[in-house]
Amino acid sequence: MSRQEVLVIGPIMPFVVERLKLHHDVVECENEADSAGFLAREGSRVRAVAVGLHGLSAKTIAALPKLEIIASFGVGYDAVDVAAAARAGVVVTHTPGVLTEEVADTALGLMLMTVRELSAAERHLREGRWQSEGNYRLSDGSLTGAVLGIVGLGRIGKAIAKRAEACGMKIHYHGRHRQADTAYPYHETVVDLARAADVVMVVAPGGAQTRHLINADVLAALGPHGYLINIGRGSVVDEAALVAALREGVIRAAGLDVFDDEPNVPSDLIEQPNAVLLPHVGSASRATRQAMGQLVVDNICAWLEGKPPLTPVPETPVPDCT
């Protein structure tokens, strides 16, 4: 296989760049002082692009007339304009599977922190209040016997369900359609799911179709004894409605690992004592992130060797690469 030029656009973990350099000549567009000028000069030669969470716009795709593959780092790929890629005949890949277990572990941990108030209890100890005020108060929530309503029962959603069942929870779900291979109760709408659930776990992808899917109506249906957990995409939750719900006792608490405008978390949300907030660490172990990065590399290398990509997204074509 001859070495070819691979373009890396936006911030991405150094591991990806290092591994790509073993096989190809890598140009990091972020390191170019004049990225627009660079694309105008060099874009006509680029067949493959690797991108991080910032994705790729239709404008940039149009500036790369010979582009054939966009390898996106992450299972979610809503930051890549897949419609523009499809129109241009460009295949988009992502990194599913390799992060499933790690994210499911984080989801379970975040749910435990939120429902059992573990982070608040830790602060009680660290601030010396155990000594000065006595024991931390009894938490109101418990996982045992509770109903977990999962929004998005894909790979990660099913891995979360398996863990939650081990904690004695009952699983319900909502998705675009009922899944014939699962016996979990299905709800046609998110509002109906929220009414039935003690905890709503959001695992849905981002994008226009799911933006603010979790809104004031859903939170009201979840109710004053309910919990919201989001490890999917921040855009799925209406953060203003969530702040109001937390402040007014519409729901009991929320645990979030993702936000609408990362890393800018609204101060109103940070100020809510019944919100547990993590800085998007769902898959953030070294081993998992390296596995994700290797899949980015493997998709690009396979394509440039004339082989099919390993993990293409369904919205873009996979033309004959021979």
CA distance 318 to 25: 24
Block residue for tokens 């108060």: 137
Express each pLDDT in 93-143 by its tens digit. 999 999 999 999 999 999 999 999 999 999 999 999 999 999 999 999 999
| pLDDT the model gives residue 202 | 98
Residue 139 DSSP label: P
Neighbours of 169 (CB within 10 A): 23
Task: List the chain domain ranges.
Answer: 5-98+286-304, 100-277
Residue pair 265/243 in contact by the 8 Å Cβ criterion: no
Express each pLDDT in 39-63 by its tens digit. 888 788 899 999 998 899 999 999 9
Residue 225 has pLDDT above 50, yes or no: yes
Residue 33 has pLDDT above 80, yes or no: no
Active site residue 212: no
Which residue out of 155, 195, 212, 280 is catalytically annotated? 280
Active site residue 262: yes
Active site residue 280: yes
Name the class of domain 100-277. Answer: alpha beta
| pLDDT the model gives residue 322 | 47
Same fold, 5-98+286-304 and 100-277: yes
Residue 34 has pLDDT above 70, yes or no: no
Give the right CATH number for 5-98+286-304 from 3.30.70.330, 3.40.50.720, 3.40.50.12500, 3.30.1330.10.
3.40.50.720
CA distance 228 to 217: 13
Strands 69-72 and 48-51: parallel
**What does 269-321 look like in DSSP terms, one character per residue?**
HHT-TTEEE--S-TT-SHHHHHHHHHHHHHHHHHHHTT---SSB-TTS-----
| pLDDT the model gives residue 31 | 56
Chain-centre distance for alpha carbon 144: 27
Cis amide leading into 263 (omega within 30) = yes
Round the average pLDDT of the chain to a whole number and report it: 95
Which residue out of 5, 18, 127, 262 is catalytically annotated? 262
Mean pLDDT of 256-268: 97
Residue pair 309/318 in contact by the 8 Å Cβ criterion: yes
Residue pair 71/311 in contact by the 8 Å Cβ criterion: no
Which residue out of 47, 233, 252, 289 is catalytically annotated? 233
